[in-house]
């Protein structure tokens, strides 16, 4: 059996169609690292949306021009609110696209409700005999919303689009 073209002894084990079997041993494959916690990402994003919505309201109140009776719109604030909510959602949830969408919706809600709460703060401070801010916001929400609609312009709606876009963008970049 010194030459390879000679017939092999049938009692010996022959390699299969794919060659000899792999040798035994070695390490088991590593368990893939768990990426993100969707529930924690959503909880932190909700808390961030509540805090940042209130902060957005106070920024609106601070930019109110008493002489002109109007609010100076600052677009970067809406983008920052959306980006911070997206950061919370994306960093904690990882690659979960559903949480990124929830973060974008929360950013939209934070900017919208923050703007309405800001108008309630302004009414409370500058309208004589106005009720408390929380009373305006919770008990007279329809009137507050109607007043906001009359004052809203295209810039408000642009900010409503920028906040969720920033949230989704930041969440997708930090989640990867």
pLDDT in tens, 25-34: 677 777 776 6
Q: What angle do CA 4, 8, 9 make, to 5 degrees?
A: 150
- Distance separating alpha carbons of residues 76 and 163, to the nearest angstrom: 9
- Taking Cα atoms as reference points, which of 54, 143, 66 lies closest to residue 135? 143
Instruction: Taking the CA atoms of 47, 51, 57 and 60 in sequence, report the sign of the dihedral they define.
Output: negative
Domain borders along the chain are 38-175
Q: Which two tokens stand for residue 127?
A: 């309208």
Measured in whole angstroms, the distance separating CA 154 from the mean position of its chain's CA atoms is: 24
How would you label 138-156 residue by residue, b for 16+ Cβ within 10 Å and e otherwise? eebeeebeebbeeeeeeeb
Q: Whole-angstrom Cα distance, residue 52 to residue 114?
A: 8
**pLDDT exceeds cutoff 70 at 156:** yes
Task: Indicate the pTM of the whole model.
Answer: 0.78
pLDDT band at residue 175, thresholds of 50, 70 and 90? confident
Q: List all residues 6 or more positions away from 34 whose beta carbon is below 8 Å from its beta carbon.
A: none
Summarize pLDDT for 93-145 with one digit per residue, the tens: 888 899 999 999 999 999 999 999 999 999 999 889 999 999 999 999 999 99
């Amino acid at each position: 059996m010194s030459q390879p073209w000679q017939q092999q002894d049938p009692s010996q084990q022959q390699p299969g169609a794919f060659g000899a079997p792999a040798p035994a041993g070695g390490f088991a494959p590593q368990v893939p690292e768990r990426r993100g916690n969707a529930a924690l990402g959503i909880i932190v994003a909700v808390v961030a949306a509540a805090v940042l919505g209130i902060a957005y309201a106070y920024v609106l109140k601070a930019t109110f021009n008493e002489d002109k009776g109007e609010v100076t719109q600052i677009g970067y604030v809406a983008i920052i609110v959306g980006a911070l909510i997206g950061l919370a959602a994306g960093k904690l949830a990882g690659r979960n696209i559903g949480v990124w969408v929830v973060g974008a919706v929360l950013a939209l809600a934070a900017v919208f409700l923050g703007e309405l709460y800001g108008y309630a703060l302004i009414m409370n401070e500058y309208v004589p005999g106005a009720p408390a801010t929380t009373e305006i916001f919770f008990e007279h929400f329809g009137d507050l919303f109607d007043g906001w609609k009359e004052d809203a312009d295209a810039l408000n709606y642009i900010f409503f689009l920028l906040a969720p876009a920033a949230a989704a963008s930041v969440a997708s970049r930090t989640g990867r």
